[in-house]
Structure 1
């Protein structure tokens, strides 16, 4: 019995060591991922990053792309006011939620936003995209 207990401990230690200091390799619950991609601003963010070279954008460029995509869905929105609302919402709500779900890295000090999600997140975006026009 001691041998199996030691094996179990060793397995847990090797799993912890394999996750690295960032912990990004740990699996997330489907609810966390689905919640992260449930909002149109977050989906627009992930699509913009997915289409960017090296999956990275400067914050200002990301704001422009997200504002353009969301505005296309509702042309009544005023451009300057709308862009400012998108900027604030991304910084305070959407980017932190995506970072918490370990789908992006957001470095507010440098203004770099990078997609670090995996295949599951990309597959979800691919599946959801055709239905966004019907919201």
Structure 2
């Protein structure tokens, strides 16, 4: 045990090695992973990618899957308007955040989105899934 660390703290590198991450160049902190799965849109993204063959989806397909899973607050709003709001939120907020955390690889030029996270992210999604409410 490293004597310089306080008891009860975790080495960030050990968290990454537990996650089984294959696409990361650097360690990921627990706060980053928890922040990533804290939002319903990001959980829907990760779930859709994890269930896709080769863990990759085209951007438009991903938008459709997330829009189908994430309900709009205003049930009267048109489906096309809801999908457009999801499209904007994914492009400007959620995909960049997951890409920056190195949980996904988002190629804006090709429109391909690929899950590159590890077991830690999958385990968290599995733990959270029973508490996700889809009305």
- TM-score of Structure 1 vs Structure 2, range by shorter chain: 0.7 to 0.9
How many residues align structurally? 112
Which has the larger helix fraction? 1
Output aligned runs, 1:62-81, within 5 Å: 62-71=62-71, 76=75, 77-81=77-81
Runs of 4 or more consecutive aligned structure 1 residues displaced over 2 Å after TM superposition: none
The answer to whether the aligner puts 1:56 opposite 2:56 as a matched pair is yes
Tell me how far 1:133 sits from its aligned partner: 1.6
Q: 1:109 to 1:28 in 2, by over 3 A?
A: same
Higher alpha-carbon Rg: 1
Q: Alignment partner of 1:114: what SS?
A: strand
For 2:31, the equivalent position in structure 1 comes to 31
CA distance in 2 between partners of 1:96 and 1:25 (Å): 17
Give the TM-score of the pair, scaled to structure 2: 0.77
Give the TM-score of the pair, scaled to structure 1: 0.77
Structure of higher RCO (CA pairs closer than 8 Å, 6+ residues apart)? 2
Instruction: Show structure 1 runs of 5+ residues with no match.
Output: 1-22
Output aligned runs, 1:79-90, within 5 Å: 79-90=79-90
The answer to whether the aligner puts 1:115 opposite 2:115 as a matched pair is yes
Tell me how far 1:30 sits from its aligned partner: 0.4
Q: Is the 8 A contact 2:63 2:86 kept in 1?
A: yes
- CA-atom RMSD in angstroms: 1.9
Q: Is the 8 A contact 2:36 2:97 kept in 1?
A: yes
